[in-house]
Amino acid sequence: MPLVTLAEVLQPALKNGHAVAGVVTLGWEDMCAYVAAAEAENLPIILQAGPGCRAHTPLPVLGKMFVYLAERASVPVVAHLDHGYEFEECREALECGFTSIMYDGSRKSLNENIDKTAAIAQMAHQHGMSCEGEIGFVGYAEGENSLGTDPAEAARFATETEVDAMAISVGNVHLQTDAGGRLDEERIQAIESLTEVPLVIHGGSGVPNDQRLSLAADTAICKFNIGTELRQVFGQALRTAVNDDPDQFDRVAILKQTHDPIMQATRNVLRSVTPT
């Protein structure tokens, strides 16, 4: 089926009490495994190209890869630009076939974040595509600290930007290598009481599975971004493949051995955000 927009998968999620996984892509091998997992679970999936991915592979190439996979998939697939920082980069993504863009103005002042996000959301909507924004900076493990989202500011942000999804800072952290943290459910409830926009959790790898499930079922959180835990699986599978046969040198043969472990891990992720 063709690519779908972020709004097309998040609005049903909001209505029906589940979430959709936004999986961080880095190359062809993980993209294929992600889509295979979504087909096995018969669930939609959001393929995300973040800054690291884009530094390695140009947007025009990524767009064609996403479109190719989506058109051959039996489930809805969203092509999503994650953490776009410039207007031109977001525009280029739309021109390259992406159906959703996330503009990250969370380091900027509230007024500047609103103004720039609104302009990019308008551009996306003019193309018939979706836009995600971020209000309240989400920090990084062993790096910048999270600032937390003010509910009143979130309400204003949602209204004035008209985004299709809103990433919030509620105790989540990017690049966590373990799921030891829990999100601030009181802050989440305060935010969702003031807006009807689907909410997004970046740094979802740091959220325990039981809380992912409960938040997906009972709150307006409709998207969990998952990257680190899947990259860890890829790394381990790659090390195993190389170490099991030190004489092996063919790149394709080695990378093929990462498919099944990533696929199974992704199926587990999809189940962790979709209450049965």
Q: Each residue of 240-268: pLDDT tens digit?
A: 999 989 888 899 999 999 999 999 999 99
In a domain, 1, yes or no: no
Q: Which of 30, 82, 104, 150 is the catalytic position?
A: 82
Q: Each residue of 123-144: pLDDT tens digit?
A: 999 999 999 999 998 878 777 6
**CATH for 262:** 3.20.20.70
269, pLDDT greater than 80: yes
In a domain, 98, yes or no: yes
In a domain, 82, yes or no: yes
Residue 179: count of CB within 10 angstroms of its CB: 18
Distance CA 238, CA 27 (A): 14
244 is catalytic: no
Query: For the chain, how far is it from start to end, CA to CA, in angstroms?
Result: 25
Question: pTM higher than 0.85, yes or no?
Answer: yes
Q: Work out how many domains the chain is built from and give that number.
A: 1
In a domain, 121, yes or no: yes
In a domain, 122, yes or no: yes
- Helix-then-strand count for the chain, H and E: 12, 8
Distance CA 12, CA 108 (A): 31
In a domain, 85, yes or no: yes
Distance CA 192, CA 151 (A): 8
- DSSP-assigned letter for residue 140: B
Please give the C-alpha separations between residue 107 and each of 111, 122, 137, 144, in angstroms, as whole numbers. 11, 21, 6, 11
pLDDT-derived band at 148, boundaries 50, 70, 90: confident
Closest alpha carbon to 135 in 119, 121, 152: 152
Q: Each residue of 180-219: pLDDT tens digit?
A: 677 889 999 999 999 999 999 998 888 888 999 999 999 9
In a domain, 165, yes or no: yes
In a domain, 33, yes or no: yes
Structural domain including 48 reads 6-272
Say if residues 199 and 133 touch (Cβ distance below 8 Å). Answer: no
